[in-house]
Amino acid sequence: MFTPKRIIFEKGTLEYETGNEILTLFKGRDNIEIINLSNNNIKQHIPGEDLPSQYKEGKRTLVVGIKKNSKFQTCKPSAHYQLPLVSGCMGQCQYCYLNTMLGDKPFVKVYVNTEDILKQAGKYIEERLPDITIFEGAATSDPVPVEPYTHALQKAITFFGANPNARFRFVTKYTDIDSLLDLEHEGHTEIRFSINTLSVIKQYEYSTASLNKRIEASIKAVQAGYPMGYIIAPVFIYPNWKEEYHELLMDIKKKLPGDLKYPVTFEIISHRYTSIAKNRILEIFPESELPMNDEERKFKYGQFGYGKYVYPKESLANIKGFFMNEIDTLFDNKEVKYVI
């Protein structure tokens, strides 16, 4: 669970049940500052003299707000719309795609009016009938570590469970999913766990749940009847990478129950970066050892029009061959969605 260092309540949020619950849970604790905002200037309450300290302070700040703009962003190709339940994440993964998206002080923001957000989702579902509409709950966040006090996923899963034309999916590196296990999800929500080798987690994924805990949570999700999958990302090529990714897959194989209701899905994404991301990462983590030597990569224009540095063709083929072969050999009831 995300325990922030400061909580900033936007105007009006304490008139909502969720706002009050968050206040009740955290007020009176010595090391948590509570700020009631009278204007809209969130950032003036987050300290930090330079980018690394602003980043760290931002990551330890929870903002409680009201979602006003009812329009959802699209979310191609994995879903039709982003479901804006939470933005930001307590994690401090060096390679995180959010590093270039959330500004200098990347706070976590939750909303007290989940019902309004779901009502809007309902309108989008209606518009697309009789087709199914898919919503992604983790496009700009990891919603799981704040779930114990927002209950936003709980409400969303129940809402989508009751609608045959809706599907919901989210991905996490955290484990606070116990309150989701007994919900009437009807198989409409897919929970994916982002995992990696122990070396990668240790080196780059600060403030996230341990690998064991993530796998343990993934098994609980399967046992609760959810469609479940793993995102293995970013995949790095480093000494022993094949042995370590093999161990990771073996670990999952040993722990997954044999009688899966849905195939376990795999999404495998090799490491890539943009120049903007690289500069940002090196400003926030000057000691970073992320492999970002442009000469060792291939520059490629992506589907969204900007260029990325990806592994060269032979390395990508190596990654693809390795994972396809391993997953095929180790798992019976599985679906590899992509290896890129």
Which residue ranges make up the site for ligand SF4 (CB under 6 A)? 89, 91, 93, 96, 98, 142, 173, 205, 208
Nearer to ligand SF4, 101 or 162 (CB): 101
Please state the closest distance from residue 151 (CB atom) to ligand SF4, in A: 20
Nearer to ligand SF4, 90 or 125 (CB): 90
Please state the closest distance from residue 144 (CB atom) to ligand SF4, in A: 9
Ranges assigned E (strand) in the chain: 6-9, 33-36, 61-65, 81-82, 86-87, 92-93, 108-111, 133-136, 166-172, 189-195, 205-206, 228-235, 264-270, 298-301, 307-310, 334-339
Contact 64, 37 (CB under 8 A): no
Please state the closest distance from residue 89 (CB atom) to ligand SF4, in A: 3
Going by C-alpha positions, the residue among 205, 209, 219, 227 that lies closest to residue 252 is 219
Nearer to ligand SF4, 93 or 268 (CB): 93
Q: How many C-alpha atoms does 276 have within 13 Å on its Cβ side? A: 8
Please state the closest distance from residue 254 (CB atom) to ligand SF4, in A: 25
Nearer to ligand SF4, 4 or 91 (CB): 91
Please state the closest distance from residue 96 (CB atom) to ligand SF4, in A: 3
Nearer to ligand SF4, 19 or 106 (CB): 106
Q: How far apart are CA 306 and CA 22, in angstroms?
A: 40
Contact 99, 140 (CB under 8 A): no
Q: First and final CA of the chain: distance in angstroms?
A: 31
Nearer to ligand SF4, 147 or 205 (CB): 205
Please state the closest distance from residue 88 (CB atom) to ligand SF4, in A: 8
SS3 218: helix
Please state the closest distance from residue 193 (CB atom) to ligand SF4, in A: 11
Which residues 6+ apart lie within 8 Å of 57 measured at CB? 5, 46, 47, 48, 105
Going by C-alpha positions, the residue among 23, 18, 40 that lies closest to residue 112 is 18
Relative to beta strand 205-206, strand 92-93 is: antiparallel
Nearer to ligand SF4, 59 or 188 (CB): 59
Contact 196, 248 (CB under 8 A): yes
Contact 48, 94 (CB under 8 A): no
Please state the closest distance from residue 258 (CB atom) to ligand SF4, in A: 30
Going by C-alpha positions, the residue among 176, 197, 204 that lies closest to residue 268 is 197
Nearer to ligand SF4, 20 or 210 (CB): 210
Sign of CA dihedral 35, 39, 44, 46: positive
Please state the closest distance from residue 90 (CB atom) to ligand SF4, in A: 7
